[in-house]
C-alpha cells in the first residue's frame, strides 16, 4: 500500500515488473536496489554524486546543492529545434541547465570531484 508523505503526497512502491522489459525482473530489482543503496551510502558520507540519466541528462548532487543538467538533444526532442532556439534566445539562462553528453562530468561540478552512477 502507498506511504502518505507530508502534503498528502503518496509514495507508491516501484513496480519492478513494469521496469523489467527484456531483462529478468529479479535482475532489475537487484540492480535498482544495489544502485540506490550505494547512492544512499555515498550521500551519507557527503560524496559528490552524478546520476546519469541515459539520453536525458545528469542529476548532480554536491553537498546540499542539487542541480539537473539536460542534454541539448533531449530538450530539442521535447520542444523541437526551432522552439528550443526561440526559448533560449528569450531566456538565455536556460543554457545553464543544458549540457553536452561528451562534456566530462567532473568539469560540471564545483569541486571537480564526483562519483558517477551510470
Q: Where are the domains of the chain?
A: 22-116
With beta carbons less than 8 A apart as the criterion, state whether 109 and 60 touch: yes
Query: What are residue 60's DSSP bridge partners?
Result: 50, 67
Grid coordinates representing 40?
544512499
Per-residue model confidence (pLDDT) at position 1? 61
Per-residue model confidence (pLDDT) at position 63? 87
pTM above 0.75, yes or no: no
Only one residue has cell 544495489, namely 34
Per-residue model confidence (pLDDT) at position 12? 78
With beta carbons less than 8 A apart as the criterion, state whether 74 and 80 touch: no
Taking each helix axis from N to C end, the angle separating 81-90 and 72-79, rounded to the nearest 10 degrees, works out to 110
With beta carbons less than 8 A apart as the criterion, state whether 70 and 98 touch: yes
Report CA-CA distances (Å) from 85 to 32, 55, 70, 75, 78: 36, 19, 15, 10, 12
Per-residue model confidence (pLDDT) at position 23? 82
Q: Give average pLDDT by consecutive 10-residue segment, the chain, 118 residues.
A: 76 77 85 89 92 91 92 91 89 90 88 81
Amino acid at each position: 500500500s502507498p506511504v502518505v508523505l507530508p502534503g498528502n503526497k503518496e509514495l507508491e512502491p516501484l513496480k519492478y515488473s513494469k521496469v523489467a522489459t527484456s531483462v529478468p525482473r529479479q535482475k532489475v530489482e537487484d540492480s535498482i536496489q544495489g544502485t540506490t543503496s550505494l547512492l544512499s551510502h555515498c550521500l551519507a558520507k557527503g560524496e559528490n554524486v552524478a546520476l546519469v540519466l541515459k539520453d536525458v541528462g545528469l542529476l548532480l548532487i554536491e553537498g546540499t546543492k542539487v542541480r539537473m543538467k539536460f542534454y541539448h538533444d533531449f530538450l530539442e526532442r521535447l520542444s523541437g529545434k526551432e522552439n528550443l532556439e526561440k526559448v533560449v534566445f528569450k531566456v538565455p539562462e536556460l543554457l545553464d541547465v543544458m549540457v553536452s553528453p561528451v562534456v566530462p562530468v567532473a568539469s560540471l561540478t564545483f569541486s571537480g570531484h564526483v562519483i558517477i552512477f551510470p
